[in-house]
Amino acid sequence: MTMFLLTPVLAAVVCILIVWLFKNAGRSIERRKGEPTGRAEARPWMHEDFKDSTDLCQVEEDADESQESEENVEHIAFSHTRYPEKEMVKRSQEFYELLNKRRSIRFISNEQIPMEVIDNVIRAAGTAPSGAHTEPWTFVVVKDPDTKHKIREIIEGEEEINYLKRMGHRWVTDLKKLRTNWIKEYLDTAPVLILIFKQVHGFAANGQRKVHYYSEISVSIACGILLAALQNAGLVTVTTTPLNCGPRLRVLLGRPTNEKLLMLLPVGYPSQEATVPDLKRKRLDQIMVTV
């Protein structure tokens, strides 16, 4: 009799034990698959999308990073320019109208541009906010025709493989409306290429590693300002993120291993036959929620 009563109780206990064992096994597998350690979770600024082979040694060396102390920065009075409300509305409207004319231009003329403008737009990009004011960016300006052509060869070689093999069907379909392919003539014709590198870490005065907090977000903000500054100056570009080309372009341009390519902007005037896809932007009520 006791035996009959015990069997369902025993079965229930065994079931609970099996469920508990499975749950724990699942959790530890997930931990192994994802961001590997608690160290990564505690330091979200170390996350990177654009990893390349040089990241492998990066992670291990993180242990001896050191931070330059800047505790003694003087605080000074802030000088602010305040506009009357009418002027504010006018300025904001005009700025929006200027930026609304920006388009990605994939046909760029070989006409030279004033290099002083390039200096100024990069100065403007360098005003971007950055995590703990680390300014984790390097803007490489390429004017030399041979280097531009080498860049083109690297990018076209990789892009051909991207389009034919690496990209999924969905990606290729999504790009159809833009009529892009792996031929990038603008890499030769544009008078200037700006390659924007993010510094995954910097160096303190004593040569030790300096942590760069949220470097990718910081550099992306700088790129946004750069795009706006180019538009303001009357130049055109197309935002490009050459897939799988970062490490080779870094080596070609002689940049150190702590720098990762984030973006490449060919800059110039539009060629006479330039066309753009007739894309529409979302309306304010589709992108803004007021609470």
Ligand X SMILES: Cc1cc2nc3c(=O)[nH]c(=O)nc-3n(C[C@H](O)[C@H](O)[C@H](O)COP(=O)(O)O)c2cc1C
> Residues 6 or more apart from 219 whose CB is under 8 A from it?
136, 137, 196, 197, 198, 262
Contact 264, 141 (CB under 8 A): no
Q: Which of 148, 210 has the CB closer to ligand X? A: 148
**Closest CB 241 distance from ligand X, rounded Å:** 4
**Closest CB 50 distance from ligand X, rounded Å:** 11
Q: Which of 211, 237 has the CB closer to ligand X? A: 237
Question: In terms of Cα–Cα distance, which of 182, 113, 123 is closest to 154?
Answer: 182
The neighbouring-strand residues paired with 270 are 108
Between CA 235 and CA 186 the distance in angstroms is 14
- Cα dist. 74→71, 78, 80, 213 in Å? 9, 12, 18, 22
Between CA 272 and CA 275 the distance in angstroms is 9
**Closest CB 81 distance from ligand X, rounded Å:** 30
Q: Which of 238, 249 has the CB closer to ligand X? A: 238
Q: Which of 66, 241 has the CB closer to ligand X? A: 241
**Closest CB 159 distance from ligand X, rounded Å:** 8
Q: Which residue is nearest to ligand X (CB)?
A: 104
The CB density around residue 139, as the number of other CB atoms within 10 Å, is 20
The binding site for ligand X (CB under 6 A) comprises 103-104, 106, 178, 180, 238-241, 276, 279
**Closest CB 30 distance from ligand X, rounded Å:** 29
**Closest CB 271 distance from ligand X, rounded Å:** 15
Q: Which of 46, 236 has the CB closer to ligand X? A: 236
Q: Which of 14, 178 has the CB closer to ligand X? A: 178
Question: In terms of Cα–Cα distance, which of 93, 87, 114 is closest to 233?
Answer: 114
